């Protein structure tokens, strides 16, 4: 799908962007792979890992999704776009709410408008479990972003651009994940636990990239994709990382949930289940004409996809194996 095409990743110097770049270069031969981000140091560091002397398709664009002029320049000729740029640290978003809104919401609007104007064929945006029934500002901005991207399909008119969204849970070992935090605390002999009942969804970076690229290839435009992934209790995670350490309960932080949610009950009516994922269908009149999906089954009216009622659980042994790969 990506051979001979122009591909752009916003927020391309983040954990996802770097892994996505690695996998695209391994599997495809894009004409150009453009990394769009605002941090020159991270771009320089990434250019050492993926130098243009070895990968002549690589391009590094310094820019911000808040800047439509720069987006217009960067999106020229782009076929496929993966939108991963975001302010995603929950405490940072709580303390700097206007900045989170400018990047996560207004930046999404800019990406949508410029992608339509420049004729980008397909755009897929990364979301988060925190966007489902959000209780913190980060989740609220990402919920708004999700709705903007889905609604973007109604703005396209007769043009070719299609927009979809992928929502998944915590990424094993990503920046900001509790796993590197626990691994650092392991040296002190004591791990701080917010609540021993807490559960979380988990996915590896490679699994996340694989799912996003699969969705990019198969999307019709308007879907919100949710992969089926395992959950784990926080105490089991602590046992996998530091079985010999003590634990200290410090209480749930502001803006944090006891259990994560990816599909709330209110969205069950438009959720279709497939073997390895769910699709939340949009409320578009033209969706039935556009949709080519088949073989799925509607979920029950009271269905919720939560980390605590998820039948797929990671064991301590399985998590140890994932952490060892890091």
What does the pLDDT look like over 177-195, one tens digit per residue?
A: 788 889 899 999 999 999 9
**pLDDT band at residue 73 under the 50/70/90 scheme:** very high
Q: Lowest-confidence range among 43-47, 156-160, 244-248?
A: 156-160
More confidently predicted of 186 and 9: 9
**Helices of type H across 36-169:** 40-49, 68-74, 90-95, 97-101, 107-118, 137-155
- Give the integer Cα–Cα distance in Å for 277 and 131: 17
Mean pLDDT of 13-21: 95
pLDDT digits (tens, 9 = 90+) for 35-71: 999 999 999 999 999 998 999 999 999 999 999 999 9
Q: Which domains does the chain have, with CATH numbers?
A: 6-169+203-228+262-303 (3.40.50.720)
pLDDT of residue 181: 87
Residue 180: what pLDDT?
86
The 10s digit of each residue's pLDDT in 295-318 is: 899 999 999 999 999 999 999 999
- Helix, strand or coil, per DSSP, at residue 271: strand
* Structure confidence by residue, pLDDT tens digits, 208-244: 999 999 999 999 999 999 999 999 999 999 999 999 9
Interval 124-131 mean pLDDT: 96
Q: Would you state the pLDDT for residue 294?
A: 81
Give the pLDDT of residue 176. 67
Q: What is the mean pLDDT of residues 141-170?
A: 94
CA distance 183 to 242: 8
Indicate which residue of 18, 19, 88, 130 is catalytic: 130
**18 is a catalytic site residue:** no
- C-alpha dist (Å) from residue 109 to 65, 83, 125, 128, 150: 9, 12, 12, 18, 11
- What pLDDT sits at residue 91? 87
């Amino acid at each position: 799908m990506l051979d001979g095409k122009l591909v752009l990743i916003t927020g391309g110097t983040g954990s996802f962007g770097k892994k996505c770049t690695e996998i695209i270069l391994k599997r495809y031969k894009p004409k150009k792979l453009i990394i769009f981000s605002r941090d020159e140091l991270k771009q320089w560091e990434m250019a050492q890992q993926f130098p243009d002397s070895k990968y002549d398709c690589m391009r590094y664009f310094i820019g911000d999704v808040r800047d439509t002029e720069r987006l217009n320049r960067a999106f020229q000729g782009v076929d496929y776009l993966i939108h991963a740029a975001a302010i995603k640290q929950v405490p940072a978003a709580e303390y700097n709410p206007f900045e989170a809104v400018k990047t996560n919401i207004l930046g999404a609007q800019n990406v949508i408008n410029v992608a339509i104007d420049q004729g980008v064929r397909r755009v897929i945006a990364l979301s988060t479990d925190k966007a489902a029934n959000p209780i913190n500002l980060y989740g609220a901005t990402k919920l708004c972003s999700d709705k903007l991207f889905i609604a973007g399909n109604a703005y396209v008119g007769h043009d070719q651009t299609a927009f979809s969204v992928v929502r998944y849970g915590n990424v094993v070992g990503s920046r900001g994940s509790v796993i590197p935090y626990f691994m650092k605390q392991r040296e002190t002999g004591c791990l701080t636990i917010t609540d021993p009942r807490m559960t979380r969804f988990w996915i590896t970076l490679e699994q996340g990239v694989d799912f996003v690229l699969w969705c990019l290839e198969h999307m019709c435009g308007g879907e919100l994709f949710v992969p089926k992934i395992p959950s784990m209790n926080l105490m089991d995670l602590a046992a996998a990382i530091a079985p010999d350490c003590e634990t200290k309960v410090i209480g749930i932080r502001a803006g944090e949930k006891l259990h994560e949610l990816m599909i709330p009950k209110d969205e069950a009516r438009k959720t279709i289940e497939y073997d390895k994922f769910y699709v939340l269908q949009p409320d578009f009149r033209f969706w039935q004409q556009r949709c080519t999906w088949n073989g799925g089954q509607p979920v029950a009216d009271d269905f919720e996809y939560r980390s605590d009622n998820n039948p797929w659980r990671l064991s301590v042994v399985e998590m140890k194996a994932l952490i060892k790969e890091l």
